[in-house]
Amino acid sequence: MKNAFLTILLSSTVLPLLRLEGVLQEGVECPLLITEHATYSLTGNTAGFNPGDAVKIIAKPVEASFCMQGTPLHILNIRHDQSSNANAWHR
């Protein structure tokens, strides 16, 4: 699955949402999502998920983050990805 962009209208502000799949990896300050094309630092609830898990997420970009690696995203939804070859993207 390629990265897909969704849009939500919220209080007259258009917020881009990202739908991504990849593998979780431990980061310096925050969990990382390693995808086919990029690395993202994740904020939000990742309870029940561990480094090495293949996942699909819906997330929104954040402008500032204390995470020190990758492009920062805030998770809105996360689930295990049983059907993916995302493990091939583990770095």
**68 token code pair:** 């020190």
pTM of the model: 0.76
**63 token code pair:** 């402008």
Reported CATH class of domain 4-89: mainly beta
Return per-residue pLDDT of the chain as tens, 91 residues. Answer: 444 444 444 444 566 899 999 999 999 999 999 999 999 999 999 989 999 999 999 999 988 888 889 999 999 999 999 876 655 544 4
Cα→Cα distances 47→17, 41, 43, Å: 21, 15, 11
Are residues 46 and 36 in contact, defined by beta-carbon separation less than 8 angstroms?
A: no
Cα→Cα distances 8→13, 43, 54, 84, Å: 8, 20, 26, 26
Strands 54-61 and 39-43: unpaired
pLDDT of residue 87: 55
pLDDT of residue 3: 46
Nearby residues of 31 by Cβ (< 8 Å), 6 or more positions away: 24, 25, 41, 42, 46, 49, 51
